[in-house]
Amino acid sequence: MLLLFIALYLLSNIAVGVWAARKVTNTQDFVLAGRSLPLVLAASATFATWFGSETIMGAPSVFVEGGVLAIIEEPFGSALCLFLVGAFYARPLYRLKITTFSDYFSYRFGRSAELLSAILIIPSYFSWISAQFIAIGIVLNVVTGVPVFWSIASSALIVMIYTILGGMWSISITDFFHNIIIILALIVIAVLLYNRIGGFEAILRQTRPGFFRFLPQPTFKDSVTYIAAWITIGLGSIPQQDVFQRVMAAKSERTTVQASYLASGLYITIAMLPLFIGLCGKLLYPNLSTDNQMLIPNMVMQEGGLPLQILFFGALLSAILSVSSGAILAPATIFGENIYRFFRPSVTDKQLLLSIRLAVVFITLACVWMTAARDVNIFELVAESSAFSLVSLFVPLTAGLYWKRASKLGCLLSMSVGFAAWLVCLWLETEYPAMIYGLLVSAAAMLVGSLIEKKADQSYQHMPR
C-alpha cells in the first residue's frame, strides 16, 4: 500500500508537468515562468531551493554526531544566502531583465567573461544533483526494497520528464504543494517525538556538554573553520543559477526581494524540525540505523502508522525531486543561453528551447552515472557544489555590482585564478579549508587585474595622437 501511494505521488509530478507545459510558449516561460510568479509561489520556490536531501537527511546526520557547530553550513548558511540575495542582489539583477548569471557577466564584463562563467557554473551542479539522486535511491531502497541504482534511475527519469515538459512552471507549482505536505509531516513527527522523549529538559540531560554550542573555540583555526562553514553556502550559493532562476521568476522587483526575505525566514525556522527529529531519534533509538542519513526515514517507519508514512515519504521524495528539477534546469539553461547561443548567435527561440531540453536529458544521465561511480556523503556533495562557485564567481559578481572600477581583466583573473588556487589547495590538503584560500586569491586577482587594466587604459589615453 505504501509503495502504491509513493508511486502515485511521483506520477503526480509528471501530471503537473503536463499541465504546466500548456503555459510554456517560449524560453522565458520555460526558464523563468514568464516572470509572473506571485509572492506565495515565488517565496515557496525560493524556500525549496535546498529543502531536500541535505536539509532532511544530510544535516541531521552530521548534527547528531557534531552538534550545532557541525551544521552552521546548513541550515544557517543557507538562510544567510537567501537573506543576502534579497538584501544586495535581487533588486539590481532583476532590473537587468536577464535570464542567467552568465548574461550578467556578458553585460558587465564582455563575451569572454560570459563564456568562462558558463563553463564554471555548469559542472558545479553535478555534485548537488547527484546528492539528490543518492538520497532518493537510499529512501526508495529502504521503503520498497528496490536496488539503489534502479531507484535512482527510475526517479531520475520522472524528474527529467516533468522538467522537460514544464520547466520553472512545473518546479514552482510542485514546490508549493510539496512544501505544505512535508512541513505538516515534520510537525506531526516532531510533536510525537517531543512527547515520547519528555521535552527539552530530557534532551539536554542526554546530550554531551557543548553539543548546543553556537560559537567556536577562541582559536585562530577554529575561527577560520567556522567562517568557512558560514560562507560555503552563505556566499557560495549566491552566484548559482538555480537560486537566481527561482528569485527572478517573481512578478515584480518588490516581490523578488520580499520572496527572498520570506524564504530565508522560513528556512531558518522550518529546517530546525529535521534536526530536532534526528536528535530525538538518535537518543530514543541509538541502534535504529547504522547510517545517520536514514535517521528520519527510519523514525517514520518506526513511529508512524501508514497514513503518516504515506504523507512523509511521498512528500519527501517529491520535495527531493523538485530540488533536483531546479538543479538540473539551471545548468541546462546556462548551456542553452550562454554556450549554445554564444556559438550560434542567430539561433531561434524554438531552437534555443530545444537545446535547453536536450541539455536536461544529458545532465540527468551524467548525474545518474556519477551516483554509480562515487561513494559519497550527501552533506559533502552539497558543500562541494557551493565551494565551486564561491571561489570563482562570487567575487566578480559582487565586484561587478558594487565596484565601478571592476574590469574585464579583473573578472577573468578572479574566476580562473581563484578556481585554480582552490583546486591546488584541495590537492595539497591544506591545514585551513581550501575555499578560504580560493576566495582570498579570487578577491586579490580581481583587485590586481582591475587596477592593471585601469592603469593601462590611462596610459593609452595619454599616448600622443
The verdict on 171 and 78 lying in the same domain is yes
According to the model, what pLDDT value does residue 377 have? 55
pLDDT band at 459 (very low <50, low <70, confident <90, very high): very low
- Predicted pLDDT at 23: 74
Same-domain check for residues 268 and 407? no
Residue 463 confidence (pLDDT): 36
Query: How many domains does the chain fold into?
Result: 2
What pLDDT score does 14 carry? Answer: 73
Identity of the amino acid at 430: T
Residue after which a domain boundary falls, among 368, 390, 412: 390
Q: How far apart are the C-alpha atoms of 178 and 48, rounded to whole Å?
A: 9
Measured CA to CA in angstroms, residue 462 lies from 405, 406, 422, 442, 456 at distances of: 19, 21, 39, 30, 10
- Cα 387 from chain centroid (whole Å): 12
Q: Each residue of 93-111: pLDDT tens digit?
A: 999 988 888 999 999 999 9
Select from 318, 316, 293, 324 the least CA-distant residue to 58.
293
**Residues 361 and 407 reside in one and the same domain:** no
431/336 same-domain check: no
Residue 64 and residue 9 share a domain? yes
Position with higher pLDDT, 68 vs 34: 68
Report the C-alpha gap between 135 and 131 in whole angstroms: 6
Rounded to an integer, what distance in angstroms lies between the CA atom of residue 167 and that of residue 140?
25
Report the distance separating Cα 389 and Cα 382, nearest Å.
12
Asked whether residue 185 falls in the same domain as residue 214, the answer is yes
Pair 375, 458 in one domain = no
- pLDDT tens digit string along 215-252? 998 899 999 999 999 999 899 989 988 888 888 888 99
Interval 374-413: pLDDT, tens = 555 555 666 667 788 899 999 999 999 999 899 999 999 9
Model pLDDT, residue 291: 67
Mind listing the pLDDT tens digit for each residue in 159-186? 888 788 777 877 788 778 778 888 888 8
pLDDT tens column, 119-148: 998 988 887 888 788 888 878 887 777 888
Closest CA to 140 of 6, 290, 323: 6
The answer to whether 335 and 104 have CB atoms below 8 angstroms apart is: no
Assess whether 106 and 219 both reside in one domain. yes
Determine the pLDDT at residue 461: 39
Residue-wise pLDDT for 191-219, tens only, equals 888 888 888 888 888 888 889 999 998 89
Length of the chain: 465
Q: The CATH number of the domain where 29 resides is what?
A: 1.20.1730.10
Q: How confident is the model at residue 455 (pLDDT cuts 50, 70, 90)?
A: low
Look up residue 380 and give its three cell numbers: 559533502
The residue among 348, 363, 390 that closes a domain is: 390
d(CA 437, CA 419): 10
Identify the pLDDT of residue 303. Answer: 66
Q: How far is it, in rounded angstroms, from Cα 409 to Cα 399? A: 13
Contact 131, 54 (CB under 8 A): yes
Tell me the whole-structure pTM to 2 decimals: 0.88
Given a contact cutoff of 8 angstroms between Cβ atoms, the answer to whether 174 and 371 are in contact is no
Measured in degrees and rounded to the nearest 5, phi and psi for residue 86 equal -65, -35
Q: 37 pairs with which residues across the strands? A: 250
Whether the pLDDT of residue 331 is over 50: the answer is yes
Contacts of the segment 346-349: beta carbons below 8 A, 24+ positions apart: 349/26, 349/27
Confidence of residue 458 (pLDDT cuts 50, 70, 90): very low
276-328 pLDDT, tens digit per residue, is 988 988 888 777 666 667 777 777 777 667 787 877 787 677 778 778 888 89
Q: Which residues pair with 89 in a beta bridge?
A: none
Together in a domain, 232 and 283: yes
Q: Which range marks the domain in which residue 456 is found?
A: 391-465
CA distance 391 to 37: 32
Q: Is the pLDDT assigned to residue 262 strictly greater than 80?
A: yes
What number of CA atoms fall less than 13 Å from residue 430's CA on the CB side? 16
Q: Is 81 found in the same domain as 222?
A: yes
16-66: pLDDT as tens digits: 767 777 777 788 888 888 888 899 988 888 888 778 777 888 888 889 888
pLDDT value at residue 460: 33
Q: How far apart are CA 171 and CA 253, in angstroms?
A: 21
pLDDT (0 to 100) of residue 423: 93
Please state, as a whole number, how many other Cβ atoms lie within 10 Å of the Cβ of residue 385: 26
Final residue of a structural domain among 342, 362, 390: 390
Do 321 and 401 sit in the same domain of this protein?
Answer: no
Which alpha helices (H) appear in 335-377, and where do they start and end? Answer: 341-343, 349-373
In 10 A of CB 216, how many CB atoms?
A: 16
Q: What pLDDT, on a 0 to 100 scale, did the predictor assign at position 363? A: 93
Same domain, 397 and 383: no
Q: What is the spatial distance between Cα 248 and Cα 91, in angstroms, rounded to a whole number? A: 9
- Per-residue pLDDT at 254 exceeds 90: yes
